[in-house]
Homo-oligomer: A and B are copies of this chain.
């Protein structure tokens, strides 16, 4: 599974939000995601495996617990691709177009 496929799942995005703030045990993630998405422990565990396997999350053992932390390296491909695209279109955008884009941007609400 590639980085874009990883990010296309809402449960995985929510999980990344959680572990980007601070390390969380699997059980803590399960609790939040279970409440918000109504899925099982098994489902969450499978998502965590994907995040591990694709370099988006690191795990630390703490007794029986597994503590998940974000691993920025998973985002490398995504960032590179987005930067590449920006590079191309940025060069052809003139000052006026840039102004218009600024207007659109400031209307957007942050999630």
CB contacts (< 8 Å) of A72 on chain B: these are: 89, 93, 96, 101
The number of times this chain is found in the oligomer is 2
Q: Using CB atoms and an 8 Å cutoff, list the residues of chain A in contact with chain B.
A: 4-5, 7-8, 13, 16-17, 20-22, 70, 72-73, 75-90, 92-93, 96, 98, 101-111
Q: In the bound complex, do residue A81 and residue B111 qualify as a contact, i.e. CB atoms below 8 Å apart?
A: yes
Q: In the bound complex, do residue B103 and residue A79 qualify as a contact, i.e. CB atoms below 8 Å apart?
A: yes
Q: In the bound complex, do residue B83 and residue A106 qualify as a contact, i.e. CB atoms below 8 Å apart?
A: yes
Given A98-B110, A110-B101, A111-B98, are A82 and B90 neighbors across the interface (CB < 8 Å)?
no
Q: Cα distance A95–B69 when bound, in Å? A: 16
Q: In the bound complex, do residue A83 and residue B103 qualify as a contact, i.e. CB atoms below 8 Å apart?
A: yes
Of the residues B70, B78, B93, B101, contact of A82 by C-beta under 8 Å: B78
Q: Cα distance A70–B87 when bound, in Å? A: 13
Q: Cα distance A29–B79 when bound, in Å? A: 24
Of the residues B77, B81, B111, contact of A84 by C-beta under 8 Å: B111
